[in-house]
Structure 1
C-alpha cells in the first residue's frame, strides 16, 4: 500500500508541474474590464505568455509567470488530512443602532469597531447630483440628539462640521464632511441605510443673479406713484451679500443684520446694497417701499453661497417675524430649501425670488421654481424681456430689471438682472401689505396674477409669466 501511495503522489506531482495556477478567487473592481484581462482569468487568451505578464491584478501574477513558479493550492489541500481553517468571514457593515450612548465623548459607539466607509452597503443607488455643490460635504436632517449625530458620523466615516436646530426645517440640520474622497452621491446613498437620517442633500452652491450692465423707470412701468409709495413698518428680509450701510440711500432703512458666514471676510457689498436700495431706499435713490424695515442677512461672498449658509439665513429671517423674504439668487433644486420655503409660506411670509439670468435653455432656477415662491423675470423700459432671462412654466411675473440706477457700495451704479426685478416686486408687495396688513400671502399672489398686464402670447407664458406687474390694479383687487 505504501508503494502505491508513493506512485500516486509522484503521478499527481508530475501532472501538477504543468499547471501555473492563478487563485480562483481573484476579483476586479473594474466594471468594464478589457478583454485581455478577462481572457487571462479564464485561461483562454491566445497570447499566452503576454497574457500572464498582464496578470498583475491578481496577487503575484506577473512575478510567477516570469520565474516559472508553480502554485498547488488544491493539491496541498487534497494531500493533507487537516487543511488550514478558512478565514474568518467579514461581517456585513451596518449603521449604528438608533439608541445613542450615554456619554458621546467616552469613545466609539457600541457594537464593535467601526467598519471602513468603503465597505458600507448603500440601500439606494448612488445619487446623480445636479448643479454646483461642495464636493466634500452633505447636508442631513437627523432624528436624534448630539449623540446620534456623532454615532452617524462614526458609522459612516464622516466629520461633523456643523449642526444646529433649524426652525423652518423643524429638526436638526447637520453638515457632514467627507474626509476620504467618496463622491457625494455615494455618501447620500449610504446614509439612506440609517433610519435616523430623514433628508439627505448635497450642499448646493447658489449664485447671485446680476447681469452685466440708464434712470429708474420702474415706478412708471409698474403703475406705482412714487409720491404715494410707502412700505412703512413692513418687515422685509433680504438674503444677499454684505451691504454698505453708510450709503445715504440706506439711512434708517436697516432694522437688523445677520452674518451667516462670519468666518469669511466681506469684500463685496454692491449687490446687497442695490437690492436693499431698490426695495426701500431713501433720498435721491428712492426705493419702491420707503419706510419699510429691512432685515438683511449676509449669505454671499464673491457672488456665491452654499445651501447650509442660505438655510441659516432663512432661519434667522423667520425669527424676525418678517412679512416678505427677497431671494435674488439661483441654484439647483434642493429638497431642504424646498421644505424651508414651504414652511416659511405656511407661516404667512411672501417669498420673492429671481427667475435667473442663465438664458432661454437653462434649467429651472431655484428657489424661484418652488411652489409658493413668486418667480420674477426682468423686463426693460419698453417692456421687452431681458435676453439672458431663464424661461419656463415656473416664471410668475415680470418687473423692470434692465439698466436701472441703484445704490451700490461705490455710491450708485446701473444694474441689470432678475435679482433687481425681484427687488422691485418685493418693494411693490410691501406697498400692498402697508395698505392692507391683513392680506395673506395667498391673496397677494392671486391679486398679482389676476391684474398683471399681459405681455407676449395671450395668457400666462414661459417668458413673461402672467405679465408685467401692475401694483395699482393689484391694490384695487379684492
Structure 2
C-alpha cells in the first residue's frame, strides 16, 4: 500500500512539474482565460493550435521556464528552512499511472500522515503570477493547536500567524521546507476541513512608469485655492517615506511598518503618493489638511500578499475614509475578501489600474468589485500608452509627467500609481465638503459626472472618463 501511495504522489507531482510563475509585471489571472490558455501556461515548451512557439497564449503573457526566480529581497524576506536552497525536482516518469490510490489524508483528529503519503483531493493548481515559491497562505478555522496540527500533518512550518480583521479568521503563512510545488501543497491542503481558503503568497509591484507644474488641478476642475481634505483620514499602502520632505510637514498622522525586519532603502514612491494626495507648500497636493495614515509594505518595488494584508488590516483599524493602493499583482481571493470587507465598512478603495500595456491581463486589486480602478492621462487628456486596458477600468485622472515630492526632494513622475493618488485626494475633497457621503454615493457620483474621453459611455481605455470633481461635488446621492 505504501508503494502505491508513493507512485500516486509521483503521478500528481509529474502533473504539476510545469507549474511556474510568470515574470513580475505580467499578471495573468484574467478570469476570461480558457482552459487551453491555462494549459499553455503550464507547458512552457508547448506548441499547438492554442499556443505560440514560446508557449504564450493570446493575451495571457508568457510562461517562464524552470524554477521561479524572485528578487533577492523576497528570497531574503522569506528564506527556506535550514539546509534548504533551490528544490531539486525529480524527473517525472514517462508513463504515469492512470489513477492515484486513495491514500488517507489528514482530517481533524486523525493520526499524523507524512507528506509523501498525501494525495491531493483537488487537481494541482496552475499558479499564475509572481509568488513566493516556498510558501502558502491559509485561513484556518481553529486555534494555535489546529494550526500546528496542519503544519505537522502536511509537512509544513508556521512562519507567521495572526487574526485578520478583514478576513475574519486566522491567517497563517506556512513554509514548504521540502521543495514541493505550491500548486501541489494547495491541492493537498484542500483535504483538511479546517483550512478555509488556500492561496499562494503572491508578489505585487508598485506602478511607477518612469520618467510640468502639477496640471491635475485644472484637468479635474479642482480649484487649487479652495482644495482641502481637512480632517479626512486616508490610508496609503506603499514604500517608506521621507518624513523630512517639506511637502509632508504635518501631513502624516501615523505610520505602520508591515515589514519591520527589512531596512528601508528607497522612499521615493511613497513620498510622491502622500505628497500628491495631501502635500503642502510649493508641492501642494489635491487635499491639503488631510491626515495620512501611512503603511510601509514595499521595498525594492515589491511586496507580498501576506505583508499587504497586514497593512490593510492596520489601515482598517485607523477609521479611515479612503485607502490608496498604488500597486498591482495577480488575482488573489484573500485580497478580494479583504477589499470587499473594507468596502462593507464604508471605506472607499482606490487602486492603480496598472502600467503593463494595452494587452496586459487585469491588474489587482483594481479589478476587484468595489475598488475604483484608475488609469492615467496626460496634460492633453491623452491616455498613457503603457496603461492597462479592460472593463474594470473605472476612471481616468492625470498621471503623466507630473512634479511630485520624492525622497530626493522632487521628481517628475508618470504612472497609474500617481493617477490613483490624484483621485484619492479629489475624493477627500468630497468628504471634506460633505462628511456624510457614502462610499457608494461617491462612486456613483464619479461615474455619472466624468468627462467622456473615449467612445460614448464607459470604455476599456478611459473607463467612465476623466474625473470632474466639481461636477461630482454638485451631484446628489
Task: Show CA shifts across 1:24-43 (max 9, x none).
Answer: xx9795769xxxxxxxxxxx
Contact 2:120–2:189 (CA<8 Å) still a contact in 1?
Answer: yes
3-state DSSP of counterpart to 1:161:
strand
> Which residue, out of 95, 109, 121, partners 2:106?
95
Return structure 1 stretches of 4+ with deviation > 6 angstroms: none
Contact 1:96–1:151 (CA<8 Å) still a contact in 2?
Answer: no
* Partner in structure 2 of residue 142 of structure 1: 140
Residue 359 to residue 122, structure 1, CA distance change in 2 (3 Å): same
**Alignment RMSD (CA, Å):** 1.9
Contact 1:205–1:306 (CA<8 Å) still a contact in 2?
Answer: yes
Q: Per-residue deviation at 1:255?
A: 0.0
Q: Per-residue deviation at 1:119?
A: 1.7
* Partner in structure 2 of residue 303 of structure 1: 301
* Partner in structure 1 of residue 39 of structure 2: none
* Partner in structure 2 of residue 193 of structure 1: 191
Contact 2:278–2:285 (CA<8 Å) still a contact in 1?
Answer: yes
TM-score after normalising by structure 2: 0.79
Task: Show CA shifts across 1:247-286 (max 9, x none).
Answer: 0000000000000000000001000000000000000000
Q: Per-residue deviation at 1:91?
A: 9.6
In the alignment, the residues of structure 2 paired with residue 122 and residue 421 of structure 1 have an alpha-carbon distance, to the nearest angstrom, of 44
Q: Which has the larger radius of gyration?
A: 1
* Partner in structure 2 of residue 164 of structure 1: 162
Deviating more after overlay: 237-246 vs 120-129 = 120-129
Q: Per-residue deviation at 1:199?
A: 0.5
Contact 1:96–1:155 (CA<8 Å) still a contact in 2?
Answer: no
* Partner in structure 2 of residue 101 of structure 1: none
Task: Show CA shifts across 1:414-435 (max 9, x none).
Answer: 0000000000000000000000
* Partner in structure 2 of residue 14 of structure 1: none
Contact 2:108–2:193 (CA<8 Å) still a contact in 1?
Answer: no
Q: Per-residue deviation at 1:319?
A: 0.3
Contact 1:278–1:286 (CA<8 Å) still a contact in 2?
Answer: yes
* Partner in structure 2 of residue 325 of structure 1: 323
* Partner in structure 2 of residue 53 of structure 1: none
Number of aligned residue pairs: give it.
Answer: 386
Task: Show CA shifts across 1:127-175 (max 9, x none).
Answer: 1111000000000000000000000000000000000000000000000
Bigger fraction of residues in helix: 1
Task: Show CA shifts across 1:45-90 (max 9, x none).
Answer: xxxxxxxxxxxx9xxxxxxxxxxxxxxxxxxxxxxxxxxxxxxxx9
Q: Per-residue deviation at 1:115?
A: 2.6
> Which residue, out of 277, 280, 296, partners 2:278?
280
* Partner in structure 2 of residue 377 of structure 1: 375
In the alignment, the residues of structure 1 paired with residue 199 and residue 102 of structure 2 have an alpha-carbon distance, to the nearest angstrom, of 29
* Partner in structure 1 of residue 205 of structure 2: 207
In the alignment, the residues of structure 2 paired with residue 27 and residue 127 of structure 1 have an alpha-carbon distance, to the nearest angstrom, of 20
In the alignment, the residues of structure 1 paired with residue 461 and residue 353 of structure 2 have an alpha-carbon distance, to the nearest angstrom, of 10
* Partner in structure 2 of residue 426 of structure 1: 424
3-state DSSP of counterpart to 2:228:
coil
* Partner in structure 1 of residue 452 of structure 2: 454
3-state DSSP of counterpart to 1:342:
helix
* Partner in structure 1 of residue 356 of structure 2: 358
Asked if 1:128 corresponds to 2:126, the answer is yes
* Partner in structure 2 of residue 463 of structure 1: 461
In the alignment, the residues of structure 2 paired with residue 118 and residue 211 of structure 1 have an alpha-carbon distance, to the nearest angstrom, of 45
* Partner in structure 1 of residue 231 of structure 2: 233
In the alignment, the residues of structure 1 paired with residue 102 and residue 451 of structure 2 have an alpha-carbon distance, to the nearest angstrom, of 67
* Partner in structure 1 of residue 252 of structure 2: 254
**How is 1:50-69 mapped onto 2 (pairs within 5 angstroms)?**
none
In the alignment, the residues of structure 1 paired with residue 187 and residue 413 of structure 2 have an alpha-carbon distance, to the nearest angstrom, of 42
Contact 1:96–1:152 (CA<8 Å) still a contact in 2?
Answer: no
In the alignment, the residues of structure 2 paired with residue 161 and residue 269 of structure 1 have an alpha-carbon distance, to the nearest angstrom, of 27
In the alignment, the residues of structure 1 paired with residue 217 and residue 102 of structure 2 have an alpha-carbon distance, to the nearest angstrom, of 69
* Partner in structure 1 of residue 266 of structure 2: 268
